[in-house]
Structure 1
């Protein structure tokens, strides 16, 4: 690889670009990398993004840097594959996001004045709305929400859709209305499970979960983080149960398992 007179950070990125280009080279490249397409790499993009989030939650700088590198590889690899058919390259990607940031921060790069973070968010959404209309010829709320439903994990998409719909006026007057809707959806789920088809049960379960996401939004809670924490606590409690158990868990009665579970809960609470 050629020597670089670039600043260290740009030289490091250039080195990565050249490494990836060599991996994709028909002349001596890696067979696995050469076999990849933008579509086959989708699972890796998602996996690496989740691993970055996990590393950030654990607060380990070394792990965060390592996982961010894996995610950056996916960006560079996608850009490399696109450049081979002259669709776009990493320069296109970097310039596009830089221009977007400048355009959406007129209070930093222009003469717009803002009072606080809330006004920054309001301006951001207004600019995004104009961009969407220019790009797609439509600023319909349903079009924007459809993008979230297509591209985000379901729980994250529901929260984002709920927030956008509320900003557009599709909102309860008080949180009591949200709780009433939750109780209504719970009754409908019970009815569907007792008397209706599996398809209907799925639909009612979805309605209940979406309403619960709205409950979370009203109380400024993150349902994705909440469920992540619950999953983590469940594993911790199960691990403690297995530690104190003198035989396989499946050999215990339900009452015995409940006792072990409560013991694990108390132990974890005392260690907090």
Structure 2
């Protein structure tokens, strides 16, 4: 199949990136930092770049999106290069695997399966996925993958949904609120006991209960916290705009006054 001019340009750009990364990893004249990297040492950068892509997508800034997707693509190419250097696999294997998976999981596009809705597409996808990798019958094994692979807040949400679906659920939302009061009390008791290890455990229980409250009210806890972080920074920026000296030079009452002024302006 002949490649279009657009695809030819894309492949040339990808090949340039691959060659640059290979040069950075070359023992002859490469970059010392890149040569030191391992698959595990690069994990923080994958997470960071993924979040920066999400942030760019939320802004709608197309130039920023393209730039951040490039940073994320670099992590994919770099991981493949590290694996190739170790004799494990290469970028061709990565591309082949995902291409075969997409074809296999879209029989309504690449075969003769008929579907009438996106819900049927999703059901087919899950069935095919289950056939590819038979799932463990143990719920704990299914949940462990969320604990290992997702940020804690997202993992907690996934775990809460899965156990609820399995029947481990409160009868009504009042039961969730009662659990919240219980966990809040236990957290306060742990703090009073000065046992920080126990307090941290109880804090985790409290946060997990809040995640369940969000689930009952069909709220997204990750998006909620992202919104709070964003609003906090916006208010802090306004405080700095109002201030005629460093915020560190204000006392707490003055800071509270600036905070309320900023909050009022943002709330309109």
TM range (shorter): 0.7 to 0.9
> Pairwise mapping of residues 79-228 of structure 1 onto structure 2 (< 5 A)?
79-114=80-115, 116-133=117-134, 138-195=136-193, 197-228=195-226
Tell me the TM-score normalized by structure 2: 0.86
Deviation at 1:269, TM superposition (A): 1.4
Instruction: Out of 202-211 and 252-261, give the one that drifted further.
Output: 252-261
Instruction: Out of 45-54 and 204-213, give the one that drifted further.
Output: 45-54
Instruction: Out of 258-267 and 123-132, give the one that drifted further.
Output: 123-132
Q: 1:241 touches 1:260 (CA, 8 Å); kept in 2?
A: yes
> Pairwise mapping of residues 58-77 of structure 1 onto structure 2 (< 5 A)?
58-77=59-78
Q: Would you say 1:34 and 2:32 are equivalent positions?
A: no
Alpha-carbon spacing, 1:164–1:187, altered in 2? closer, same or farther (3 Å): same
Deviation at 1:126, TM superposition (A): 4.2
> Pairwise mapping of residues 230-245 of structure 1 onto structure 2 (< 5 A)?
230-245=228-243
Alpha-carbon spacing, 1:36–1:122, altered in 2? closer, same or farther (3 Å): same
Supply the distance in 2 between the matched residues of 1:209 and 1:113 (Cα, whole angstroms). Answer: 44
Tell me the TM-score normalized by structure 1: 0.85
Q: 1:25 touches 1:34 (CA, 8 Å); kept in 2?
A: yes
Alpha-carbon spacing, 1:192–1:264, altered in 2? closer, same or farther (3 Å): same
> Pairwise mapping of residues 8-27 of structure 1 onto structure 2 (< 5 A)?
8-27=9-28
Alpha-carbon spacing, 1:216–1:108, altered in 2? closer, same or farther (3 Å): farther
Supply the distance in 1 between the matched residues of 2:165 and 2:184 (Cα, whole angstroms). Answer: 26
Deviation at 1:107, TM superposition (A): 4.0
Q: Which blocks of at least 5 consecutive residues in structure 2 are unaligned?
A: none
Supply the distance in 2 between the matched residues of 1:10 and 1:126 (Cα, whole angstroms). Answer: 34
Supply the distance in 2 between the matched residues of 1:36 and 1:250 (Cα, whole angstroms). Answer: 39
Count residues with an aligned counterpart: 264
The aligned residue for residue 48 of structure 1 is 49
Instruction: Out of 211-220 and 242-251, give the one that drifted further.
Output: 242-251
